[in-house]
Amino acid sequence: MPSEPIRYVTKVDLTKPGDQQPQVHNRWHPDVPFSETIKPGETVKIECLDWTGNQIKNNDTADDILNVDLTRIHYLSGPFNIEGAEPGDALVVEIKDVQPLERQPWGYCGIFHKKNGGGFLDKFYPEAAKAIFDLEGIHATSRHIPHVKFTGLIHPGIMGTAPSAEVLQEWNSRESGLIKEIQHAHDMAVANAPLETNAHAGSADAELAAKIAKEGARTIPGRPENGGNCDIKNLSRGSKCYFPVYVPGAKFSVGDLHFSQGDGEISFCGAIEMPGVITIQTSIIKGGIEKLSLKSPIFIPGDVQNHYGPSRYLTFEGFSVDEEGKQQFLCATTAYRQACIRAIEYLRKFGYNDYQIYLLLSSAPIEGHVAGIVDVPNACTTIGIPMDIFDFDIGPEGGLEKQDMGNCALVEGAKHELIYEYK
């Protein structure tokens, strides 16, 4: 009888850096050794570190965000040997649950400094900031963003199968091509090439670890072939996800758990980041890549997302005219940025400063939609804010009154502007 507690295939240590823990790794590579074996049909629990591997603390300064070491991130649990999975199959992962760890009932959302990570709005908000969220059951609240409480649409930021050598080669070639082509025109990294510094190859021996460090793909981007860091907020509890399998055993990895996130995860470290535990059950569709035309993962969400009713979303429109008033051509990225800016300008009225709002739009269950993508020259996108997460009425016909909203965590001695004057 299945009366036993569900088996843990990974446990993590919150007191040690990620690279001292061999059951996690931070590169995509076909040769990272299996950390455990999972049978199809078996339900297992997997603990995961937060994405920085314990670098961020529960306090009121953003110094740790400012100084975060971005070579030491994305410690993924796994890779797991899914018994019987072979190249050409589809790996089905059903997310039975995601929870914060009972021993650490808090998470954080960070705005990274423009020179160390940046984010979607770093042009306007270049400084580091942080909000700590207390996680109590299904609810998150933050002393740094008062008068807000919401239910987390909890999910893993990263899930993926390992690339084959060929797929890995394609990634490295594709991304180095971009670096060659456009890096000169940007002051931030446009992509991250393989990097030996602080590569963590799980339980690999020295020789293998060196190979993986040299060749392994970085974990920042999601990629069409295997998913990875997709940051899809709706991949929450109950979701069933279909991944292409490229190597024997699938080598499935998971990490970067989020208690909640807005569409776009705009501040980069923009979800409520946390260590936690994910419960999954797997199955295999033989020959699934061909059967499902599976070039990228597909999924079916679960049936318990927080739902506020459509009429509870205050919705802002954004178009591809940028903040300088310059017309961009059908650029949904610009349009989405504009929608975010409109929301910031609006929410300021209640006393929040821009950094607080930026953190909130990143971490709360914000809906970001593509609206129109063909009406030259303007793409149109929308961003919908669930009004019920506030304990006062933010509607246009509510009181529109300013309150004392305190502040988010800033760096020690910060004196920079907290409001950006858009034209």
Residues 16-75 that bind its own copies (CB under 8 A): 43, 58-59
Q: Which of 22, 41, 87, 224 binds its own copies (CB under 8 A)?
A: 224
Report the nearest approach of its own copies to the CB of residue 28 (Å). 13
Report the nearest approach of its own copies to the CB of residue 372 (Å). 4
Pairing outcome for strands 139-142 and 155-160: unpaired
Report the nearest approach of its own copies to the CB of residue 206 (Å). 30
Nearer to its own copies, 251 or 342 (CB): 342
Report the nearest approach of its own copies to the CB of residue 178 (Å). 4
Nearer to its own copies, 165 or 190 (CB): 190
Contact 92, 291 (CB under 8 A): no
Span near its own copies by CB under 8 A; candidates 65-73, 215-223, 402-410, 411-419: 215-223
Span near its own copies by CB under 8 A; candidates 28-36, 65-73, 77-85, 396-404: 396-404
Q: How many CB atoms lie within 10 A of CB 322?
A: 16
Structure tokens at 176: 């180095």
Give the ranges where 124-249 is alpha helix by DSSP (H): 165-182, 206-215
User: In which element (H, E) is residue 309 found?
Assistant: none
Nearer to its own copies, 31 or 175 (CB): 175
Q: Does 234 bind its own copies (CB under 8 A)?
A: yes
| C-alpha–C-alpha distance, residues 418 and 182, integer Å | 31
Report 398-417 residues binding its own copies (CB under 8 A): 400
Report 311-350 residues binding its own copies (CB under 8 A): 311-319, 321, 325-333, 336, 338, 342, 345-346, 348-349
Q: Does 147 bind its own copies (CB under 8 A)?
A: no
Contact 262, 76 (CB under 8 A): no
Report the nearest approach of its own copies to the CB of residue 138 (Å). 5
Q: Which of 167, 289, 380, 411 binds its own copies (CB under 8 A)?
A: 380
Report the nearest approach of its own copies to the CB of residue 398 (Å). 10
Pairing outcome for strands 268-273 and 106-111: antiparallel
The residues, any chain, with a CB within 8 Å of residue 205's CB and separated by 6 or more, are none
Nearer to its own copies, 230 or 411 (CB): 230
Q: Which of 375, 399, 401, 403 binds its own copies (CB under 8 A)?
A: 375
Q: Does 206 bind its own copies (CB under 8 A)?
A: no
Report the nearest approach of its own copies to the CB of residue 190 (Å). 5
With vertex at residue 131, the alpha carbon angle to CA 128 and CA 133, rounded to the nearest 5 degrees, is 155
Report the nearest approach of its own copies to the CB of residue 163 (Å). 14
Report the nearest approach of its own copies to the CB of residue 210 (Å). 26
Report the nearest approach of its own copies to the CB of residue 227 (Å). 7
The residues, any chain, with a CB within 8 Å of residue 310's CB and separated by 6 or more, are none
C-alpha distances (whole Å) from 59 to each of 21, 108, 185, 220, 274 are: 25, 10, 37, 26, 15
| C-alpha–C-alpha distance, residues 283 and 396, integer Å | 48
Contact 45, 8 (CB under 8 A): yes
Q: Does 251 bind its own copies (CB under 8 A)?
A: no
CA dihedral 78→250→222→45, nearest 10 degrees, is -40
Nearer to its own copies, 249 or 302 (CB): 302
With vertex at residue 68, the alpha carbon angle to CA 356 and CA 46, rounded to the nearest 5 degrees, is 90
| C-alpha–C-alpha distance, residues 141 and 133, integer Å | 5
Q: Does 15 bind its own copies (CB under 8 A)?
A: no
Site map (CB under 8 A) of its own copies, residues 254-293, x = contact: ---------xxxxxx-x--------x-x---x--x--xxx
Q: Does 238 bind its own copies (CB under 8 A)?
A: yes
| C-alpha–C-alpha distance, residues 230 and 218, integer Å | 13
DSSP-assigned letters across all residues of 87-99: TT-EEEEEEEEEE
Nearer to its own copies, 34 or 171 (CB): 171
Q: How many CB atoms lie within 10 A of CB 59?
A: 12
Nearer to its own copies, 66 or 98 (CB): 98
Nearer to its own copies, 201 or 289 (CB): 289
| C-alpha–C-alpha distance, residues 96 and 76, integer Å | 18
Q: Does 194 bind its own copies (CB under 8 A)?
A: no
Report 72-131 residues binding its own copies (CB under 8 A): 90, 92, 95-97, 102-106, 119-120
